[in-house]
Amino acid sequence: MTKRLILGQTLSFAGDPFHEPLSEVARHERRGAVLVEDGRIAAIGPADDLRAAHPQAEITDHGDALITAGFVDAHAHYPQTAMIASWGKRLIDWLNSYTFPEEMRFADADYAAEIAARYFDLTLSNGTTTVCSYCTIHPESVDAFFAEAQRRGLRALAGKTCMDRNAPEGLRDTPARAYDESKALLKTWHGVDRLSYVITPRFSPTSTPEQLEAMGALWAEFPDCPMQTHLSEQTDEIAWVKDLFPDARDYLDTYETFGLLGGRGLYGHAIHLEPRERDRLREVDAALIHCPTSNTFIGSGIFDMAGLMAAGQRVGLATDTGGGSSFSMLRTMAAAYEIGQLNGSALHPAQLYWLATQGSARALRLDDRIGNLAPGMDADLVVLDLASTPAIAQRAARADDLWEALFPTIMMGDDRAVQAVYVGGAPVGTA
């Protein structure tokens, strides 16, 4: 394969800016380059050095634009694409009014394929190159998601959402069916190309103890698979869980009892955690997924980023579309900043950007493959125009350093800021 040199400003991380000095972990080249070969990053460094070392490489020069790892969205619901930004409900009513009726449509394989294609068009246009998504109970929805991701050469994670109570009849399976269909889909897709299957009980209120036990048994059989669910998103949801599981110590215990607590677990929201829950999640090194636009849109609460990070929790960032109100990880970073401000903690632009790339990759246990610019990593890249609108441009023009130049794009940027996207080293649209 032809070597490709992609030129521009480059940003990578050599560590975690939440726990290490920024001067030691951020790597910025004002005139840098990324050398891509066979779909992976072969080298990064000053543009002049790499051009001299690889004179035969095909060159793409993005000028002053910023080249980074593509964004990683650690929690999404692709079946909710068409009903994003639906007005005026809290979680339980929102599910019944909007989500469940839309998810019923995914029994139709053609409809599932249509939405999967639309979803990836939207995420890629916003610079997101990896997504971890819930599907619906229908195997057709999983097949459609993975087939479309595979066609585009994407790294993607997803699973059949399992529910056997507190949902419409057309969206309920059984413990046995949830186990059998999930296992069949896992064996079909997990580890194929760049795809990973995720064991997916939606959340405790929509699964009986028998189904949670079946999902725990499946995870025990395939412990290298991730498992995703929701945890402590809203206070009325937590009260519902207490009614449904009167013997449980807390919400997390409804998963822990059935073998659904572990290091490869992805627990969406995790806003209203009890001390015991925090301790157990940290002990097993599970991932908590922060969904800031969803948390504000549905009125869920304020995620304690500073406290959880200080305690050593593993945290990723996500859009949670369509409860989240944007497909953009830039908008998601902005919302995380705003929530941090409400909670008395101003997240640095480096911390926000790390969360949207390496932090989310780390939550997915994929930080050895995606989420950073480093030799050997997959060449999934986003190129950002840091002056994409007049408002952003006039603010960035006054910047004294990279962070001051990048922050206006984080706070005010959208898909217009995405100058280019590369998947496996190939520009999107020509792969």
Task: Please state the rounded mean pLDDT for residues 297-324.
Answer: 95
Domain ranges of the chain: 4-70+371-427, 71-363
Residue 430 pLDDT > 60: no
Q: What is the pLDDT of residue 234?
A: 94
Amino acid letter for position 100: F
What's 264's DSSP letter? Answer: T
Structure tokens, 16: 């975690």
Given a contact cutoff of 8 angstroms between Cβ atoms, the answer to whether 410 and 356 are in contact is no
Residue 238 pLDDT > 90: yes
Give the architecture-level CATH label for domain 4-70+371-427.
Answer: Roll (2.30)
Residue 1 pLDDT > 80: no
Q: What are phi and psi of 118, to 5 degrees?
A: -60, -40
Measured from the Cβ of residue 224, the count of other Cβ atoms closer than 10 Å reads 11
List, in sequence order, the alpha helices (H) in 205-266.
209-221, 235-244, 251-256
Task: Please state the rounded mean pLDDT for residues 111-133.
Answer: 98
Structure tokens, 17: 């800016």
pLDDT band, very low/low/confident/very high, at 49 (cuts 50, 70, 90): very high
Confidence (pTM): 0.97
pLDDT band, very low/low/confident/very high, at 98 (cuts 50, 70, 90): confident
Residue 51: CA count within 13 A, CB half-sphere: 12
Q: Are strands 381-384 and 418-423 parallel, antiparallel or unpaired?
A: antiparallel
Task: Please state the rounded mean pLDDT for residues 101-121.
Answer: 97
What are residue 44's DSSP bridge partners? 34
Given a contact cutoff of 8 angstroms between Cβ atoms, the answer to whether 166 and 245 are in contact is no
Per-residue pLDDT tens digits for 332-353: 999 999 999 999 999 999 999 9
Residue 40 pLDDT > 50: yes
Evaluate whether 4-70+371-427 and 71-363 have a shared fold.
Answer: no
The 314-317 sheet, strands edge to edge: 227-231, 265-269, 287-290, 314-317
Give the integer Cα–Cα distance in Å for 384 and 386.
Answer: 6
Q: What is the pLDDT of residue 431?
A: 38
* pLDDT mean across residues, the chain: 96
Per-residue pLDDT tens digits for 129-145: 999 999 999 999 999 99
Residue 214's nearest CA partner among 245, 260, 250, 247 is 260
Task: Please state the rounded mean pLDDT for residues 277-305.
Answer: 96
Task: Please state the rounded mean pLDDT for residues 398-424.
Answer: 97
H helix or E strand, kind and range, residue 162: strand 161-162
Task: Please state the rounded mean pLDDT for residues 71-82.
Answer: 97
Per-residue pLDDT tens digits for 169-204: 999 999 999 999 999 999 999 999 999 999 999 999
Task: Please state the rounded mean pLDDT for residues 55-62.
Answer: 96
Residue 374 pLDDT > 70: yes
Burial (CB < 10 A; 0-12, 13-18, 19+), residue 45, is middle
Query: Percentage of the chain surpassing pLDDT 70?
Result: 99
Task: Please state the rounded mean pLDDT for residues 203-218.
Answer: 98
Query: Percentage of the chain surpassing pLDDT 90?
Result: 94
Task: Please state the rounded mean pLDDT for residues 281-299.
Answer: 96
Given a contact cutoff of 8 angstroms between Cβ atoms, the answer to whether 284 and 39 are in contact is no
Task: Please state the rounded mean pLDDT for residues 68-90.
Answer: 92
Task: Mention every residue, 6+ apart, whose C-beta is less than 8 A from residue 200.
Answer: 134, 135, 158, 159, 160, 161, 162, 182, 227, 228, 229
- SS3 assignment, position 427: strand
Task: Mention every residue, 6+ apart, whose C-beta is less than 8 A from residue 317.
Answer: 73, 74, 289, 290, 292, 329, 332, 333, 336, 355, 356, 359, 360
Q: What is the pLDDT of residue 239?
A: 97
CATH of segment(s) 71-363: 3.20.20.140
